[in-house]
Amino acid sequence: MSDGEASVNPETVIADGVEETLALVASAPGRVNLIGDHTDYNEGLAFPVAIDLSTEVNFVTNASDDITLYSTLATKPAKIPATIAFERETLALVEPRWARLAAAVIAQCGLNAGGVGRVTSSVPVGAGMSSSAAFCVALTLGLGVEGEPEVIAKLCQRAEEAVGVEVGLMDPLTSLLGVAGHGLLMDFSNLHTESVAIPDGAEIVVVHSGEERTLSSTPYRARRAECDAASLELGYPIGRADSADLTGLLDPVLRARTRHVVTECARVRAFYDSLASNDLAAAGLLMLESHNSMATDFEASTEAIDSIVETLAARGGVYGARMTGGGFGGCVVALCEPGAIDLSPWKHGAWKVAPSSGATSRTVAAD
């Protein structure tokens, strides 16, 4: 059981003396980060929104010892022991490969029975819209785990780390805490979250670069190590640093990575203030500054991503655009006037997304 705080809710009821099995249906949204990347694991600030693309898990318990999962995104189902050990060596043997993340979730849930789950998703995979976090949150809730959002989010974070993907808490927390029509200002030094309405007349568009990415196979891990090294040198997380601290870092690479995080946190706060005052032009300029920082100081962009940002930013009605997510491919997010960006020409996909409410679960009678 995660942290001794989460609990599994039995999904059976007695009606008229007959035990009826229920299906637990959980839905968790993906997320787009409007500004503030590589700040969450550095205890800084970020401003994501949960989006109206989501993953759903429909789960029914049974008397078996295995969790069998079917997914619309995979051709082969997965069969995972309900009591599988939370050990990297054990999880690495799970087949098919997509099921290893599911196994890492299941291993933490303290299940004492099996069941069958069906997974459907509209969140694009490898696009930087947190498909893996949406899956982890939906599966955790679908298996009946209950707990505070921070507990659930940390369970999901540990699951990703167990299969070799070092992530922060932003993605699962956003999936859990999303507010319809709002963005979230998140402070990862204390996990405090404030919501602010996305102004009327603002539209969020996401454009795929065609470069799919997985955090485990990009320089993402190297960037985290560089941030850790800078934090160690300063004596505190670089998300809590300020510009005066940069002079204390002699290594130019560590100084550049820290400069991105320090200036990005300042931009996040200014972005929040801009939206609160309905100044979309200022918010858009901050997004462009953020992208330049990601491309230069953090070196996490690509030529394809830079080209899309430049193309979108030059269009009338577009306030700003930037790479979103961990970088090294994936998507660009733009803040614009409604209809300013035509979705059809983008051959790798484009989506208009709306800020969504967070994850939900409900019980229904099993088929």
Q: What CA–CA distance (Å, rounded) separates 216 from 28?
A: 23
65 carries an active-site annotation: no
State whether 62 and 107 are in the same domain.
yes
The answer, yes or no, to whether residue 3 has pLDDT greater than 50, is: no
Question: What's the mean pLDDT in 78-96?
Answer: 95
What pLDDT was estimated at residue 364? 85
Work out the angle at residue 40's Cα, subtended by the Cα atoms of residues 221 and 187, and round it to the nearest 5 degrees. 170
State whether 231 and 120 are in the same domain.
no
In a domain, 215, yes or no: yes
Distance of CA 43 to the CA centre of its chain: 16
Q: Write down the mean pLDDT value for the chain.
A: 91
State whether 82 and 24 are in the same domain.
yes
How do residues 203-240 score in pLDDT, each as one tens digit?
999 999 988 765 555 788 899 999 999 999 999 999 99
Higher-confidence residue of 211 and 296: namely 296
The answer, yes or no, to whether residue 125 has pLDDT greater than 90, is: no
Q: What pLDDT band is residue 328 in, cutting at 50, 70 and 90?
A: confident
The answer, yes or no, to whether residue 144 has pLDDT greater than 60, is: yes
What pLDDT was estimated at residue 297? 97
Query: What share of the chain in percent tops pLDDT 70?
Result: 92
State whether 217 and 331 are in the same domain.
yes
CATH code for position 153: 3.30.230.10
In a domain, 41, yes or no: no
Residues sharing a CB contact under 8 Å with residue 235, sequence separation 6 or more, in sequence order = none
The answer, yes or no, to whether residue 39 has pLDDT greater than 90, is: yes
pTM of the model: 0.89
Task: Residue 85: give the domain boundaries.
Answer: 2-35+51-189+359-365
Q: What are phi and psi of 12, to 5 degrees?
A: -135, 150
State whether 163 and 228 are in the same domain.
no
Among the listed residues 45, 6, 22, the one whose alpha carbon sits nearest the alpha carbon of residue 268: 45
Please count the residues of the chain.
Answer: 367
Q: What pLDDT band is residue 1 in, cutting at 50, 70 and 90?
A: very low
Query: What share of the chain in percent tops pLDDT 90?
Result: 81
Q: Which position among 40, 66, 171, 297 bears the catalytic label?
A: 171
Distance of CA 184 to the CA centre of its chain: 13
State whether 90 and 169 are in the same domain.
yes
How do residues 43-62 score in pLDDT, each as one tens digit?
999 999 999 999 999 999 99
User: How many structural domains does the chain have?
Assistant: 2
